[in-house]
C-alpha cells in the first residue's frame, strides 16, 4: 500500500530539522533525558540483534524513532502517577528506574522478577516500584477504559494524581477508545491519552484507517481538549504534555495529545516494512529524535560533541553488561510452570 506524501501527514508548522527549548533548561536534566533516549535506542537495537540470533522466542517490537515521546511525557509525571505502555515505552521505563538488565532478561525468558519468565519483555507492569500499570491485553485500545478506571479511583479518593495511557494511531479505531474517553469525559477524570501516531497501524496507513486528518480531530465529540504536536522534538513533547497533565491534575477532565512520529523499524522485527515508500522513510530519518537532540546538545546546549559521544559510549557499555548478566540468569524450572497463576 503506497503511503501518502509526508507533507500531508506532518503540518508544515510542526516540521523542523533542528530543535531548541523555549527557555533555559538545567543541564543535568538535558543529560538525563538524552541518556534515557540513547539507552532506550541502544537497548532496542540490541534486542533486535538478539532476535535475529534466535535468542528471543516470539516477536520483538521496537520504538526506534519514537523515544522522545515517552521520555518527555514520563519526565513530567509525579512519582505516584501511573502510566501504561508496551515495549515501545522503554524510555519511560528507564526514566522510572527499571534496569536494562531486567528488561533484557525478560525478553530472554529468564527466571527474574516480577514475572519469572512468564510474559517475555512486552508486558511490563510494576506499579509498586515504578508506577507502570499492568499491560491489559493485546488490544491497545483497551488501555483507555482501564486507564479511566484508574483515574476514577484517583478522583474518588480525592488524590491529585493522573493516569497516562500511551497508545497508537491504530488503537484509536476500536470501540474501546471511544468508550473509555466518553466515560472519562462525562466524569471529568484525570486521564491523559497520548497517541503516538507513527503513520501505520502495522502496515495500514492513516488514510486507510481513519476518515479525519488527525486523531485529535475526534476530541470535540467528547468535548475535551486535544493537541497535535511534533513527537520527535523532546522540548515540544514536554511543552504540550505539561499542558495536558496540568489540565487533568487540576480536575478539569481528560486530555488527548497526538504526537506525529515515525518508527524506523517494522511493526515487529519480523516486518520488513516493504509497504513504506522510500521518500517517507528518508523524510523521517532526517528528523530522527536522537539526532535532533544530540545536535542541540553538542551545539547550543553547550555539552560539546565529545561529551555527547561519551554518553553514547556509556549507554553501549551498559547494554552489553546487561546482556551478559541476563544471559547468565537461569531459565524457569519446568516444575514451576503452574506457579503464580493465582494470587496467594
What pLDDT score was predicted for residue 3? 45
- Give me 184's grid cell: 472519562
What is the tens place of the pLDDT at every residue in 232-261? 999 999 999 999 999 999 999 999 999 999
The CATH architecture annotation of domain 26-331 reads 3-Layer(aba) Sandwich (3.40)
Give the global pTM.
Answer: 0.92
Check whether 141 has a pLDDT greater than 80.
Answer: no
Check whether 89 has a pLDDT greater than 90.
Answer: no
Any idea what DSSP says for residue 49? H
What is the tens place of the pLDDT at every residue in 284-311? 889 999 999 999 999 999 999 999 999 9
Show the CA angle centred on residue 141, arms to residues 188 and 287, nearest 5°.
100
- 3 or 276, which is more confident? 276
Is residue 1 very low, low, confident or very high in pLDDT (cuts 50, 70, 90)?
A: very low
Is residue 123 very low, low, confident or very high in pLDDT (cuts 50, 70, 90)?
A: low
What is the tens place of the pLDDT at every residue in 190-212? 999 999 998 887 788 888 888 88
Q: Which of 85, 41, 36, 38 is nearest to 62 (CA)?
A: 41
Across 66-75, b (16+ Cβ under 10 Å) vs e yields bbbbbbbbbb
Q: Locate the domains of the chain by residue range.
A: 26-331
Long-range pairs, 121-126, Cβ under 8 A, ≥24? 121/47, 121/60, 121/87, 122/61, 122/86, 122/87, 123/86, 124/87, 124/89, 124/93, 124/98, 126/98
Contact 30, 301 (CB under 8 A): yes
What pLDDT score was predicted for residue 324? 98
Share of the chain above pLDDT 70, in %: 91
Contact 229, 240 (CB under 8 A): yes
What pLDDT score was predicted for residue 129? 58
Average pLDDT over the chain reads: 89
Is residue 2 very low, low, confident or very high in pLDDT (cuts 50, 70, 90)?
A: very low
Amino acid at each position: 500500500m503506497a503511503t501518502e506524501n509526508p507533507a500531508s501527514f506532518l503540518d508544515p508548522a510542526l516540521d523542523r530539522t533542528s530543535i531548541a527549548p523555549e527557555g533555559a533548561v538545567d543541564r543535568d536534566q538535558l543529560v538525563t533525558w538524552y541518556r534515557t533516549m540513547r539507552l532506550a535506542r541502544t537497548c532496542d537495537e540490541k534486542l533486535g540483534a538478539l532476535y535475529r540470533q534466535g535468542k528471543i522466542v516470539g516477536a520483538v517490537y521496537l520504538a526506534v524513532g519514537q523515544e522522545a515521546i515517552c521520555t518527555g511525557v514520563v519526565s513530567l509525571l509525579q512519582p505516584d502517577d501511573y502510566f501504561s505502555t508496551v515495549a515501545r515505552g522503554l524510555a519511560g521505563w528507564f526514566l522510572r528506574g527499571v534496569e536494562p538488565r531486567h528488561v533484557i532478561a525478560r525478553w530472554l525468558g529468564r527466571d527474574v522478577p516480577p514475572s519469572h519468565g512468564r510474559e517475555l519483555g512486552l508486558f511490563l507492569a510494576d506499579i509498586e516500584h515504578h508506577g507502570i500499570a499492568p499491560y491489559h491485553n493485546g488490544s491497545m485500545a483497551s488501555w483507555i477504559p482501564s486507564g479511566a478506571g484508574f483515574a476514577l479511583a484517583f478522583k474518588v479518593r480525592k488524590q491529585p494524581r493522573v493516569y497516562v495511557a500511551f497508545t497508537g494511531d491504530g488503537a484509536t479505531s476500536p470501540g474501546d477508545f471511544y468508550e473509555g474517553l466518553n466515560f472519562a469525559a462525562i466524569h471529568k477524570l484525570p486521564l491523559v491519552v497520548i497517541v503516538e501516531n507513527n503513520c501505520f497501524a502495522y502496515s495500514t496507513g492513516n488514510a486507510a484507517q481513519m476518515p479525519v486528518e488527525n486523531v485529535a480531530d475526534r476530541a470535540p465529540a467528547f468535548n475535551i481538549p486535544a493537541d497535535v504536536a511534533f513527537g520527535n522534538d523532546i522540548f515540544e513533547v514536554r511543552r504540550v504534555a505539561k499542558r495536558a497533565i496540568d489540565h487533568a491534575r487540576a480536575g478539569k477532565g481528560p486530555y488527548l495529545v497526538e504526537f506525529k512520529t515515525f518508527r524506523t523499524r517494522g511493526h515487529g522485527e519480523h516486518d520488513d516494512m516493504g509497504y513504506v515508500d522510500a521518500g517517507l522513510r528518508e523524510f523521517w530519518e532526517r528528523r530522527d529524535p536522537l539526532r535532533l537532540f544530540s545536535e542541540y546538545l553538542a551545539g547550543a546546549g553547550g555539552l560539546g560533541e565529545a561529551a555527547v559521544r561519551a554518553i553514547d559510549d556509556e549507554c553501549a557499555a551498559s547494554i552489553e553488561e546487561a546482556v551478559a548478566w541476563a544471559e547468565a540468569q537461569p531459565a524457569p524450572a519446568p516444575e514451576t510452570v503452574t506457579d503464580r497463576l493465582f494470587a496467594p
